[in-house]
Structure formats: C-alpha cells, structure tokens
Chain A
Amino acid sequence: MKTLALLATILTGAILLYGTADFAPWGDPQSPPNRHLSTYYIEQAVKETHVPNLVTAVLGDYRGYDTMFELVVIYCAGMGVVAVLRRSDS
C-alpha cells in the first residue's frame, strides 16, 4: 500500500516536472501570465477605481460579487460545522 502510494507520487511528480518544461522562467516580465490581462489592471485600475492597492481594487471592485459570495461559502461551511457537531437528542 505504501509502496504503491510512493510510486504514484513519484510518477505524478515526474509528469508535473515534465510539464514545467513549457512554463516561462521565474521572474520573467514578458511571460504569458504577466503580459496579457494584468497590464490592463496595472495601467487602468487606479484611474477606474481610485484604489492605489491593486489587489484591493481587483478584489473589491472588479471581483466584488465574487468576494461577496465568498461570504456564502464561509456561511455554508459554518452551517455544515454546526449541523455535524450539533448534539442530537435521539
């Protein structure tokens, strides 16, 4: 069982490392994740939202609904915990 788990781990790790061959090098300003969408936010977010902190601007303004409904996730988790741990009389 443990050897099987170790083999699966090594195999998955090798496949993941093989996949990293196509990724951009670390810290490259011209890498694909840094080139397409984020330049718009860095250039325009302060003009559009007047929030100097870009993370807050995206989290609170552009993705406001997402952040709001994260509260639903937390609420559901809390309700789940209450439902699981509640002392039942039966």
Chain B
Amino acid sequence: MESMLGVVVAKYNYWLYVVLMMIGFYAMIGKRNLVKKLLGMNIFQTAIILFFVSMGAKRGGGIPILDKEAALAGAVKVAEVVNPLPHVLMLTAIVVSVSVTGVALAVMQRIYKEYGTLEEDEILDKIGRS
C-alpha cells in the first residue's frame, strides 16, 4: 500500500491528465447536447496539452528563456532549463483546437437554424420523420 501511494505521488501528473481526459471523453460519448459534446472535446484537448507540458517539466528547472551571453559562451546547464519542445508542439495543438472549435460552433449554429434544437435525439427524430 505504501509503495502504491509512492507510485501515485511520483506520477500524479499522469493521474491528473487521465482524470481530465476521461471527463472529456464521457462528455463526448455520454451527453446528448452537442454543445456539451464540444465542451468535452475541448477538455480532452486540454488534457493532452497538460500531458505533453508536464512531460517536459524538470524538478528545479527554470523557464526556457536563456541569458544570451551565457548561452553563447556555452555556460547553460541542460538540467536547469525545462524542455521547450513540448511547449512548441502544444502551440500547434492549440491552433488546431481553436480551428476545430470555430468550425464546430458554426456547424452547430446551422443545425440549430435547421432543426430548432441541439439535442442529438431530437435531431435524429426530426431527420427520421421527414
């Protein structure tokens, strides 16, 4: 039991990302409202971003903005600067996330104009009847 707790504390960032991701996942597949599904997808993407950024963390590491003179002289210690690559990749992911959210909201607005509702089962009913 002691070792189990140790494992959880040493990797609590992964537990947090799994919990967040499963909240988003449940909202995506369990809810019927389209806006709630979209919110779930955004939570899911945020969990991925948290996962990547937390992988690049280093205990005792500073921000990845270096002193230029020290860096040119080669005096930068790698262990004292956090990993900048996950941050860069997640900037790309944020761009994609914003684009997807925008298009999804536009499609939802169109669906609401057409069917007068954003509930999935009501929309399916209306499609089946016509």
Contacts and interface: CB of A to CB of B under 8 A. Distances in A.
B30 A5 contact: yes
Interface in A23-67: 23-29, 31, 33-34, 37-39, 41-43, 45-47, 50, 52-55, 57-59, 63, 66-67
Contacts, number: 151
A73 B47 CA distance: 22
B84 A54 contact: yes
B71 A47 contact: yes
A66 B96 CA distance: 12
A70 B54 CA distance: 24
B34 interface: no
B11 A27 contact: no
Given A29-B58, A58-B85, A73 B64 contact: no
B11 A20 contact: yes
A59 B18 contact: no
A13 B22 contact: yes
Given A26-B13, A54-B65, A84-B103, A5 B26 contact: yes
Given A46-B66, A70-B95, A27 B58 contact: yes
Please classify the interface of chain A as helix (H, G, I), strand (E, B), loop, or mixed, using the class held by over half of its residues: helix
A37 B88 CA distance: 13
Nearest to A25: B10
B45 interface: no
B59 A41 contact: no
Contacts of A24: 55
Contacts of A47: 71-72, 74
